[in-house]
């Protein structure tokens, strides 16, 4: 886990690299990136669930066709 001293050191390095004026812009862009990532993650989860549902429906329909054929025999 990161201690308080390490966080202060990281913040100081960021201040030296980017300057005080750029930090709010940097934080906004990081927040925006995280939001876009979460949105894409949710979208991909929904696509995966839809695919799993279609595969399970396909499997169920094949079983019923197989059962119908077996009943005819």
Residue tagged 């499997």 (tokens): 59
The CA angle 18-21-24, to the nearest 5 degrees, is: 90
- Contact (CB, 8 A) for 46 and 54: no
Q: What is the pLDDT of residues 14-59, one digit of tens each?
A: 888 888 888 888 889 989 999 999 999 999 999 999 998 888 777 7
Instruction: Report the largest interatomic distance among the alpha carbons of the chain, rounded to a whole angstrom.
Output: 81
- Residue 66 pLDDT: 66
Domain boundaries, the chain: 4-72
The CA angle 49-51-54, to the nearest 5 degrees, is: 110
- Residue 37 pLDDT: 96
Which position has the higher pLDDT, 73 or 41?
A: 41
Tell me the whole-structure pTM to 2 decimals: 0.55
**Rounded Cα distance, 29 and 44, in Å:** 22
- Residue 49 pLDDT: 94
Tokens linked to 4: 């308080």
């Amino acid at each position: 886990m990161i201690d308080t001293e390490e966080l202060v050191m990281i913040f100081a390095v960021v201040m030296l690299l980017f300057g005080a004026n750029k930090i709010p812009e940097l934080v906004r862009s990081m927040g925006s990136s995280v939001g876009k990532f979460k949105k894409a993650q949710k979208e991909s989860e929904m696509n995966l669930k839809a695919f799993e549902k279609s595969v399970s429906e396909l499997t169920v329909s094949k079983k019923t066709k197989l059962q119908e054929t077996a009943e005819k025999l």
